[in-house]
Structure 1
Amino acid sequence: MAKKDKNLSFDFEGIYTKIENLSLIEYKLLDNRIGKVSFEKNENEVIITETFEPVIEDSESMQKEWCQTVIDNFKKYVEAF
């Protein structure tokens, strides 16, 4: 994964451990951290919640900001269709 301006990037590789159609994706990264993304329908919108084990090397707030940016960009992409 990389920012558009390429000033920050990291490898994000793992396996999906559980998938529930239209509601949940769970995964395990190569460094054994786990995470999940849930999708909850609420009237005319979908609420996306991601939880994950942060890496020790980076601040938790930086990692949260990164994930929020990814979700915000995904939202813009989906709303364009």
Structure 2
Amino acid sequence: MEYQKINITATINAPIAQVWDAYNNPKDIVNWNQASPEWHCPSSENDLRVGGRFKNKMAAKDGSFQFDFEGTYTEVTPHNSISYVLGGERTVDTTFTDENGSTKMDISFDAEGSNPADMQREGWQAILNSFKQYVENKTS
């Protein structure tokens, strides 16, 4: 199946090592992995290696809805890039680039077919913005 690629980006005012650690450590993931204040991430598991899996529970704070966001890593290059597969087909590629002490993150993902592409872009960007805010607040 052919998927539409969606790209999002953010520049985080922190060095790559700090950004990488906060992006991949379950103790950090539960603090930033939500698209809006009405949502949270009550649990996270991450086996960051090729063939390893991750699973993040995403839940509405009012208890009305929850789901597991999970995938399998296909490529992991520390402090540089991560690729994984969602549902056995959709791919996600994330790169980390040093920009004079800040870190630029670029994420490219295959859109799923049940929601409009703009909605998916906005949701993923909101999560990335939450990550940026978390890391910058943590390091300041």
TM-score w.r.t. structure 1 length? 0.86
Specify the SS of the correspondent of 1:67.
Answer: helix
Among 79, 84, 90, the residue aligned to 1:22: 79
Matches for 1:1-81 after TM superposition, within 5 Å: 3-5=36-38, 6=60, 10-81=67-138
The Cα of 1:32 is off from its aligned counterpart by 1.3
Higher relative contact order (CA 8 A, sep 6+): 2
The structure whose residues are more often strand, as a share, is 2
Corresponding residue pairs, total: 81
Unpaired runs of 5+ in structure 1? none
Match of 2:12 in 1: none
TM-score w.r.t. structure 2 length? 0.52
RMSD: 2.0
Of all paired residues, the percent bearing the same amino acid is: 27
Aligned partners of 1:56 and 1:13: how far apart in 2? Answer: 17
Unpaired runs of 5+ in structure 2? 1-32, 39-59
Aligned partners of 1:44 and 1:8: how far apart in 2? Answer: 39
